[in-house]
Amino acid sequence: MPRHQSTVSPAEKQRLYRARRDADPVRRAKYLQSEQNAWVHRREKGKWLPMDQLSARSQRSRKRKNCEAQERYRKKRKLNETVTSTIPPQTPSAMTSPASLATPPSVSTPAPSTSAQPSTSHSASSTHISRSVM
């Protein structure tokens, strides 16, 4: 029998680890402090330079990357806003069970006509439907 019955991808393992870490306020604070210290250390070592200390070519490169990242962020945010704004809220009738949506027994359905002409009630209801769609 295999040791692990379900395989978890490395990305999923990382997500689970981060979720556990962020769930504990003390652990999260410790992590954030270590990240801040690492950032200060990188700045002191000169691994990250401010824009005014970069060459003209490096400034253009960083600005281009920042603009592309900002554009990706804006597109993602706009897509998320349009998706959430176009989804209508659920109505009480949509939240009911399918069994309650069946035709109640008290409503009788009209008998099919034997004549060659279509019934007027059918064409009126289709007109009503098309008007409600418009």
pLDDT tens-digit series, residues 9-41: 999 999 999 999 999 999 999 999 999 999 999
- Rounded CA-CA distance 35/27 in Å is 12
- Judge contact between 110 and 119, C-beta under 8 A: yes
Average pLDDT over the chain reads 80
Residues 95-114 have a mean pLDDT of: 59
- Judge contact between 23 and 16, C-beta under 8 A: no
DSSP annotation string for 73-111: HHHHHHHHHHHHHHSPPPPTTTTS-GGGGSPPTTSPPPP
Task: Provide the whole-model pTM.
Answer: 0.45
- The angle at the Cα of 57, spanning 51 to 62, to the nearest 5 degrees, equals 50
Say yes or no to pLDDT of 68 above 50: yes
Domain boundaries, the chain: 9-48, 55-84
> Which one, of 38, 41, 65, lies nearest residue 51 by Cα?
65
Say yes or no to pLDDT of 101 above 60: no
The predicted pLDDT at position 91 comes to 76
- Judge contact between 62 and 54, C-beta under 8 A: yes
